[in-house]
Amino acid sequence: MNKCFKLEFTKYVDNSNKAEVKHLIFDLKNIYEDGSWDIETIKLLGEDAILKGIALEIYDKENNLVWSTFEDEKVLSNSTLNEIKRNMKSIDSKWNGNFKKYKIENYDNDKNIVGYSYIGHYESTYYMENDMDFLNIMNKFIIIIGVVSLAGIILISIIISKSISNPITKVSKMAKIIEEGNYKNKLDYKSNISEVKELIESINKLADALNEQEALRKRLTTDIAHELRTPLTSIKGHLDAIIDGIWEPTNERLISINEEVSRLSNLVDQLRNLEKVDREKNKLKIESVNLKELMQSIVYNYQSKALEKNINIKYESKDIEVFIDKEKFSQVIVNLLVNAIKFTNYKGQICIKTYLENGYINISIKDNGIGIPKDNIDYIFERFYRVDKSRNKDTGGIGVGLTIVKSIVNAHGGDIFVNSEINKGSEFIIKLPNNIK
Ligand code: ADP
């Protein structure tokens, strides 16, 4: 700003100095009238000119001095020119102070040359006292504006940096708290900066997710320990009795031990299955599948299992093309069908239907089995949840089948719903968006 201002001001001063010289030249036309020099006017013009840094010398035709600023206004010219020199040196120590002179001819009324006027001033731009005052005031203003702006910028920077660094410090403290295993804490900090808001939300979500995982891990450990203990106690009891010679290792006893071992291995298989689904739920191998054919082949495979309990499976479907991970989705249908067979009494009925409704592909698996009590319905999709452990004792499940079902259906962008009434039966309905690819 300062540089621009000085440049513009120099141009302005140069122009106004040139204008002064032009005025003087114009006025000097009328200083010889009626055969003599008008000394009064010359004096006035000379005084006025030197106050603006312009010296004037007038000689007649014979080169005799008529009037000179340096003679008649010696004191004023010395002080003015010295003042200019001082001013300019204070701005630029290399200022050369060269003088420039113009020669103008003076005429009488008949246009005859009567003498010469010499106008002189410093060659390079020069400032008078009032120019210097103006320049100094402007400099002061610029400095004040600069200082105020700088202070403002520093203040704004501090405010902005604080508004960013404060929450970041809080988030980093929260991260340390989380690192120490305190997942229940929440970062309660409001910020207007959207990135900071997102960061706070993310750290809170992270804490929630870790808290959920921690609870799950604890529950998983307890559940697995519990599930493993029952068959292991039974096997150990049998084996202890046989080793102590209390029981004979008869075929029936060995078969019973073998059944418990099978239960254990089934349990481990299901756990592995659950872990695999969790790990791969975001890696679907989507392909175009004819839903009718897929369901048909699953029904065929489980028909014999249903017949063991004299259960009739009814199946109706239209040709519907779906985009699904065939292998994973087959597991969904198998789990639901196996449950329906498991929880339906002898001579029961299972109806499977696939149909389109409101832009959704619906798959309904309905049985007239034992049903699910109302207050249990909300929990059946949770891991290791079984309605009543005693009623499921012989069904071999560990309560992960529906967890797997929900996880796979959700990964396909769909959802699953249950209608169930105790002793009347249950209906599981899968809804898949029709446009999934
Ligand atoms: P499990 O491996 O024990 O079958 P699931 O997650 O598949 O576990 O099911 C959870 C619980 O939901 C079951 O233990 C059972 O009590 C109940 N359930 C699931 N399907 C049915 C059904 N068709 N009829 C009645 N109860 C059911």
pLDDT category, 197, cuts 50, 70, 90?
Answer: confident
Q: Which atom number of ligand 1 is nearest to the Cα of residue 386? A: 14
User: 313 - beta bridge partners?
Assistant: 350
Joined tokens for residue 106: 């003076």
User: 419 - beta bridge partners?
Assistant: 427
Distance 426 CA to ligand 1 centre (A): 10
Q: Name the closest-CA residue to atom 2, ligand 1.
A: 397
Joined tokens for residue 1: 């700003």
Distance 370 CA to ligand 1 centre (A): 10
Q: Name the closest-CA residue to atom 4, ligand 1.
A: 397
Residues flanking ligand 1, CB < 6 Å: 335, 339-340, 343, 367, 369-372, 380, 385-387, 392, 397-403, 426
Distance 93 CA to ligand 1 centre (A): 98
Distance 420 CA to ligand 1 centre (A): 12
Distance 386 CA to ligand 1 centre (A): 6
Using most ligand atoms within 8 A of CB, pick from 402, 409, 423 the residue to mutate for ligand 1. Answer: 402
Q: Which atom number of ligand 1 is nearest to the Cα of residue 387? A: 16
pLDDT of residue 393: 52
Joined tokens for residue 318: 């239209």
Q: How far is CA 350 from CA 33, 264, 290, 367, 433, in A?
A: 134, 29, 22, 4, 25
Joined tokens for residue 183: 């997942």
Q: Name the closest-CA residue to atom 19, ligand 1.
A: 339
The DSSP secondary-structure symbol of 184 reads: T
Cα 7 to chain centroid distance, Å, stands at 45
pLDDT of residue 269: 85
Please check whether the domain covering 281-433 is classified as CATH 3.30.565.10: yes
Distance 399 CA to ligand 1 centre (A): 7
Q: Which atom number of ligand 1 is nearest to the Cα of residue 425? A: 24
pLDDT of residue 157: 95
Using most ligand atoms within 8 A of CB, pick from 309, 334, 380 the residue to mutate for ligand 1. Answer: 380
Cβ-based burial of 47 (10 A; exposed 0-12, middle 13-18, buried ≥19)? middle
Using most ligand atoms within 8 A of CB, pick from 224, 227, 343 the residue to mutate for ligand 1. Answer: 343
User: 56 - beta bridge partners?
Assistant: 119
Q: What is the pLDDT of residues 376-422, one digit of tens each?
A: 898 899 877 777 755 545 556 678 889 889 989 999 999 999 999 99
Residue spans per domain, the chain: 2-127, 281-433
Distance 298 CA to ligand 1 centre (A): 19
Give the lowest-confidence range in 128-137, 248-257, 269-278, 361-370.
269-278
Task: State pTM to two decimals.
Answer: 0.54
Task: Report phi then psi at 377, rounded to 5.
Answer: -55, -40
Cα torsion 242, 248, 254, 259 to 10°: value is -70
**Of 3.20.20, 3.30.450, 3.40.50, 3.40.1000, which CATH number belongs to 2-127?**
3.30.450
Strands 113-122 and 99-107: antiparallel
Joined tokens for residue 359: 């832009």
Report the percentage of the chain scoring pLDDT > 90.
53
Give the lowest-confidence range in 71-85, 158-172, 206-220, 228-242.
206-220
